[in-house]
Amino acid sequence: MATTTNLLATLGDLERDSFVSLLSKLIGESKHVQNNPPELIPEEDRVVKHVLDALLPFSTATGGGPLLLNHVTYLPRRGNLIVEYPGTVPGKILSFVGCHMDVVTANPNDWDFDPFSLSIDGDKLRGRGTTDCLGHVALVTQLMRRLGETKPNLKSTVVAVFIANEENSAITGVGVDALVKDGLLNKLKEGPLFWIDTADKQPCVGTGGMIPWKLHVTGKLFHSGLAHKAINPLELAMDALKEIQLRFYRDFPPHPQEQVYGFATPSTMKPTQWSYPGGGINQIPGECTISGDVRLTPFYNVKDVIKKLQEYVDDINENVQKLETRGPVSKYVLPDENIRGSLTLTFDEAMSGVACDLNSRGFHVLCKATEEVVGHVKPYSITGSLPLIRELQEEGFDVQTSGYGLMATYHAKNEYCLFTDMSQGYRVFTRIISQLED
């Protein structure tokens, strides 16, 4: 079997010209893999084609090498790709998953350079998808290509899974959810699964759940000079939301585990959007809607929070007359007219956060490899949300997450990554493989 030193020498470092050439082709497809239905539906097979072009010469499909390639498609032009480098010991396996081939939208008018073609500024590789996540697609492709090219004698099978449809959940049954449902990833449960879609080169050990909510508030429209005859829904919304937030933070306070995992913030519940039907400045409107989200650390249950929020709203509706008001004629009940202000709470699709297993072999090898390559290891957690990985964990996978783009440019305009960071990511991967040979 390959010794650690020999294996690292065999796999070498990330070859800049080969990596940049592939990444240039992938970023050239980024305009066509923007994911924002119904207007923008990505065609991930455009990316699959370039990955296959890089790997086919070292695959069993051409007889040129040992790589097993499985292009799995559930909707036309929207494929996933599973790449396997076979090891010699049955059941000994590790995988790199989560490199997705869709991107968030980009408006060229807002950028300082063309988002849909790769541009190079010294160490910076610029374009939509360089950090999230086409840069990782190119990186893991280079790793698998190198395995296929050099054919090291490994005990472990190494699997890479390039997925469709990560950036939007309006359409389902396309990406990793369908692969899991069909059992195509089952054998990955036998070893650590590294989800490569975060940033800043450190293990991300915790993410937040997200509960999108809308609070529709109904009052009574009237002339603003006769405020005593109106129920002001804007004031009711503000007072009701304050009460809801007070109750939320009482029932879901900072959790002791958040410090263990290094979460930057505890769970939060807050408004992010406000709308009303319109009207004159001298008119108290009849309704308004506040929208926002809950970001929930993974130590609380999403269903429990949804149930509690609904209970808060039901209680406020029953006792709206007791709610704090604003000024001598501000009121949320008009008894003479038998009119009460009211709240309706609705939710869009929620997702759960994840807390990685800090005692697993996968976590320990990731930390050791990171320390050796980057020079230090400092796992972190955020209440940003990563779809899909909680479900994988619940299915029995040992999920660990990392990434080698830049958090500062994630989903941002003028997105870029650094070649030196991606190069360190490649070396982390080779060290993970070598450690798991022991």
**Could you give the residue numbers annotated as active site?**
102, 166
What is the token pair recorded at 229? 């005859």
Whose tokens are 């990444």? That residue is: 23
Best CA proximity match to 184, nearest among 80, 85, 90: 80
DSSP type of residue 62: T
What is the token pair recorded at 182? 């069909």
DSSP type of residue 157: E
Listed in order, strand segments (DSSP E) in 281-394 are: 283-284, 287-296, 333-334, 339-340, 342-347, 354-355, 380-381
Torsion of CA 123, 107, 116, 72, to 10 degrees: 110
272: three-class secondary structure by DSSP: strand
Task: Report phi then psi at 60, rounded to 5.
Answer: -65, -20
Task: Report phi then psi at 370, rounded to 5.
Answer: -65, -45
Q: Is the link from the previous residue into 133 a cis peptide, with omega within 30 of 0? A: yes
Beta-carbon count within 10 A of 242 CB: 12
* Crossing angle between the packed helical segments 4-11 and 419-435, to the nearest 10 degrees: 150
The one-letter code for the residue type at 14 is L
**CA–CA gap between residue 125 and residue 410 (Å, rounded):** 14
**CA–CA gap between residue 177 and residue 391 (Å, rounded):** 9
The one-letter code for the residue type at 344 is T
What is the token pair recorded at 65? 């090498």
The one-letter code for the residue type at 397 is F
